[in-house]
Structures are given as structure tokens and as C-alpha cells.
């Protein structure tokens, strides 16, 4: 995304990753290079397509759609994503392919089916592969939404980082969409985040505790986080191929090169209108915190990482049914030492300090999640206890249809 100086909440950068699969078998189709060449005439790793750009990811069966630069409002943004999803599906139709949503492919065997990107940026991917072996689920089978929020000064960075830290633990309770791995219901609402938080255990400094440390200035961030990461990677990457801000894999990462913080914990939903519903809710809660309407900035800075991590782990496992304890609800003005995630989220949605920032077209999607559970919970319910490959294919074909037409998944 192009860099322009923006203040807090002046713009939003949204990135969404989708799987390309065979429309009958749902097997992954490693054809992203073909797709990008079809629209650009070359094996480019990124193509501007108007409102959105299309780009590659680490693996060849994933394509990313992202806003071209930032957009001034989230309202109506799902329309741009739907337009390009239709364009891509029309192109894929000729090779019996289609896009499929959710955070993980439910049947993929990455050891056999992974094909890494082999064009531009391949030295980066080759180095990752040499260090971590990228043919596992934690690399080859993860689809997420990234939310980029700008800051205009060091003080704004600190306030934004403090607020985002507090909101990260509840994201899986709203956004989990990955309950199945290799044909097995894992018992985790957010299997993507469970593998994500362990996929770099070889060099644990890269992801840390996923919830970032208590740092609230650029200097603190560089001294505490970047120094630790770059020191740990150096023996494995002597040429410095990976020595960049994006090596950091915490749940939100500072992108000082473009004056933004990128939030990375959100699973892909079943359609853009549902993605934007979740994004809008997350951003609205962050906004209320930045404005000091629930907890002062000084108090936000005091919250230890371990409390936030413990809540996040519960949400990864249980989604909207997760018990949020450790006094976490009280940080948002909800006078309970602990409660289930759905109750806290409903309380937040009912607060005018949050609700006023949510575009009206996305309220219905949030209500679906709060009333019927995360997409993970709805997927498991749709299986009706039958996790056979054919049952899983039927459910995920339905999810691909939701993506194609732009609707919510209601089993």
C-alpha cells in the first residue's frame, strides 16, 4: 500500500486472503501465478486492479485482495471486494476453479499439496522455508484478514498500540473460522491461530506471546521488540534477507515504514459483508479505547501481557463461548470479573461509544455472530456430528457459494 501521512482513523487498509480450489473436489489449485499473469501479462507478485490490488502469498493456492492504499471509511467497502471476487471467480471458472473462504482449508494435506511461490520475492520465501519448513499448516494453510490503522505521531502510535493490545484477545471470539484440520474437528474454534502461535517455535522471539509487549513509543518498540527479533534471526539469516519489520509475527505489528499498525489475528469470514462487519466492530472498540471512553491511556498501558494472552488462548479454543476472566471484562467497563465472550461483545455493541463508529450495513452481520456464534461454531453445527470428507465438502461448498454471492452462512 502506498504511504501517505494520516492521523488516527483517517484511513483504513484492509487485506483479505482467499484459497483457490477445484470447484468440485475442493482440492487446492496452485494457480495464483497464472491468475495474476492473466490480468497483467506477466508473473507479477502484485497487480493494481482499481479500488483493490491482487497479490500473491507464500503459497500458490492463495490470492490476497487488498485496498489500493487506504480508504477513508469502511462503509460500503464490501462492494469493492465483491466486485473483484466475481472477476476472479469468472477467470477461475475456465479452469474449474473458484475462491473459497475461511481461515484454513479443512482437508488440505500441506506435506503433499504445498506449492511455494516461485517468482518475484522467492528468495524471501526460500529463506523462510529453509529455516522453518513451510510445508506445514502453520505456513501453507492459513488465510487471514489484516487491518492496517494509521498513526500520525509517536504519541498516536502509543495510544493506538495500547488500545489494540487490549482488543486482540477478543478477536478469535468474534472471527474464528477454522475448526477443521485435515478432516478432523480439532476442538479449537480458531485452529489457524493455534498453529500460527506455534509455527515459529524454532525462533520464539519472532512471534513472542502473540500479544505484544508493553511498548508505547517507536524507540521502545525498536529496543524491546525489533532488537530481540533481529538478534535471534541473525544466525539463520546471515545475509539479512528477512531483516525487515514484517518479520515480526505478533498479533499486531508496527509498520513504521508506512506509519501504521497491522492487526493480524482475524480469520477470513464467509463473505466480504461479514468480513467488514467483524472489521468494523474491532475498529469501533479500538476507537472507543483510544478516545479514553472506557479506560484511560495510562491504565491501558499497565495491563500485563500475560493477562491478555490467557484470555486470547481461551478465545482461540472456545470462540464466542470462551470464558474471559482475569478482570478482562472490567477493562471495558463491564462490571464482571469474568463472563463469556458473547456477553462482553454484546455489552460492547450496546455502548454508544462503540456503536456510533459501526456503519449501519454491518450491524446485521455482527448480530448474526453474537446470536449464532462465530463462523467456526456455525460450521461445526452444520456438520451435525458427521465430519466425513463428503460432509465437510458439502459444508465448504456452501461457504464458497456464500462468498460467490456475498451472504452470511446460516446453517
Assess whether pLDDT exceeds 60 at residue 89: yes
Assess whether pLDDT exceeds 60 at residue 96: yes
**Cell numbers at residue 279, please?**
472489521
10 Å CB burial of residue 336 (0-12, 13-18, 19+) is middle
Strand locations in 281-373 (E)? 323-324, 339-340
Q: What is the DSSP string of 273-289?
A: HHHHHHHHHHHHHHHHH
Other CB atoms closer than 10 Å to residue 348's CB: what's the count? 23
Assess whether pLDDT exceeds 80 at residue 122: no
> Which residues, other chains included, contact 278 with Cβ-Cβ below 8 Å and sequence gap of 6+?
145, 174, 175, 266, 269, 365, 366, 369
What is the rounded average pLDDT for all residues in the chain? 95
pLDDT band at 2 (very low <50, low <70, confident <90, very high): very low
In angstroms, rounded to a whole number, what is the distance separating the alpha carbons of residues 66 and 384?
A: 35
In angstroms, rounded to a whole number, what is the distance separating the alpha carbons of residues 289 and 166?
A: 9
Backbone torsions φ then ψ of 394, nearest 5 degrees? -60, -45
- Residue range 13-405, CATH number: 3.30.590.20
Share of the chain above pLDDT 90, in %: 89
Pick the range with the lowest mean pLDDT from 121-130, 181-190, 240-249, 376-385: 121-130
69: enclosing H helix or E strand? none
pLDDT band at 1 (very low <50, low <70, confident <90, very high): very low
Strand locations in 151-299 (E)? 180-181, 184-185, 252-255, 260-267
Domains of the chain, by residue range, sit at: 13-405
Rounded to a whole number of angstroms, the distance between the first and last alpha carbons of the chain is 37
Look at the alpha carbons of 197, 208, 289, 286 in this order and tell me if their dihedral is positive or negative.
Answer: negative
> Which residues, other chains included, contact 147 with Cβ-Cβ below 8 Å and sequence gap of 6+?
12, 13, 14, 262, 263, 266, 279, 282, 283
pLDDT digits (tens, 9 = 90+) for 145-168: 999 999 999 999 999 999 999 999
pLDDT band at 342 (very low <50, low <70, confident <90, very high): very high
Q: Is residue 317 helix, strand or coil?
A: helix
Rounded to two decimals, the pTM is 0.97
Assess whether pLDDT exceeds 90 at residue 384: yes
Contact 44, 24 (CB under 8 A): no
343: enclosing H helix or E strand? helix 341-349
pLDDT digits (tens, 9 = 90+) for 24-53: 999 999 999 999 999 999 998 899 999 999
Q: At what angle do helices 375-383 and 363-372 cross, to 10 degrees?
A: 50
Amino acid at each position: 500500500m502506498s504511504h501517505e501521512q494520516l492521523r488516527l482513523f483517517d484511513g483504513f487498509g484492509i487485506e483479505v486472503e482467499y484459497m483457490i480450489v477445484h470447484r468440485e473436489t475442493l482440492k487446492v489449485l496452485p494457480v495464483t501465478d497464472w491468475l495474476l499473469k492473466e490480468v497483467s501479462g506477466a508473473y507479477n507478485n502484485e497487480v493494481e486492479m482499481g479500488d483493490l490490488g491482487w497479490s500473491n502469498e507464500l503459497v500458490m493456492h492463495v490470492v490476497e485482495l487488498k485496498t489500493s492504499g487506504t480508504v477513508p471509511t469502511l462503509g460500503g467497502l464490501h462492494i469493492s471486494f465483491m466486485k473483484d471476487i466475481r472477476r476472479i471467480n469468472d477467470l477461475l471458472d475456465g479452469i474449474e476453479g473458484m475462491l473459497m473462504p475461511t481461515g484454513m482449508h479443512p482437508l488440505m494435506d500441506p506435506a503433499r499439496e504445498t506449492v511455494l511461490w516461485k517468482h518475484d520475492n522467492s528468495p524471501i520465501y526460500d529463506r523462510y522455508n529453509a529455516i522453518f519448513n513451510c510445508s506445514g499448516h502453520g505456513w501453507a494453510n492459513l488465510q487471514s484478514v489484516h487491518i492496517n490503522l494509521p498513526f500520525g505521531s509517536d504519541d498516536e502510535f502509543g495510544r493506538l498500540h495500547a488500545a489494540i493490545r487490549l482488543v486482540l484477545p477478543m478477536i478469535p471470539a468474534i472471527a474464528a473460522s477454522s475448526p477443521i484440520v485435515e478432516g478432523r474437528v480439532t476442538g479449537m474454534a480458531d485452529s489457524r491461530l493455534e498453529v500460527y502461535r506455534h509455527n515459529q517455535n524454532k525462533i520464539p522471539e519472532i512471534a513472542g506471546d502473540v500479544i505484544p509487549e508493553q511498548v508505547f513509543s517507536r524507540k521502545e518498540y525498536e529496543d524491546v521488540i525489533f532488537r530481540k527479533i533481529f538478534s535471534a534471526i541473525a544466525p539463520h539469516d546471515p545475509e539479512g534477507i528477512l531483516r525487515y519489520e514484517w518479520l515480526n509475527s505478533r498479533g499486531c505489528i508496527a509498520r513504521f515504514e508506512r506509519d501504521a499498525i497491522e492487526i493480524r489475528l482475524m480469520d477470513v469470514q464467509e463473505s466480504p459483508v461479514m468480513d467488514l462487519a467483524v472489521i468494523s466492530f474491532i475498529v469501533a472498540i479500538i476507537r472507543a479505547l483510544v478516545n479514553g471512553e472506557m479506560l484511560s491511556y495510562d491504565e491501558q498501558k499497565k495491563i500485563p501481557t500475560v493477562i491478555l494472552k490467557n484470555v486470547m488462548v481461551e478465545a482461540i479454543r472456545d470462540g464466542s463461548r470462551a470464558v474471559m476472566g482475569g478482570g478482562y471484562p472490567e477493562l471495558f467497563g463491564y462490571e464482571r470479573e469474568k463472563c463469556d465472550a458473547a456477553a462482553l461483545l454484546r455489552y460492547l455493541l450496546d455502548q454508544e461509544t462503540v456503536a456510533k463508529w459501526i456503519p449501519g450495513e454491518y450491524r446485521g452481520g455482527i448480530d448474526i455472530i453474537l446470536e449464532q456464534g462465530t463462523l467456526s461454531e456455525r460450521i461445526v453445527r452444520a456438520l451435525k456430528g458427521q465430519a466425513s470428507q463428503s460432509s465437510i465438502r458439502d459444508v465448504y461448498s456452501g461457504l464458497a457459494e456464500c462468498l460467490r454471492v456475498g451472504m452470511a452462512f446460516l446453517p
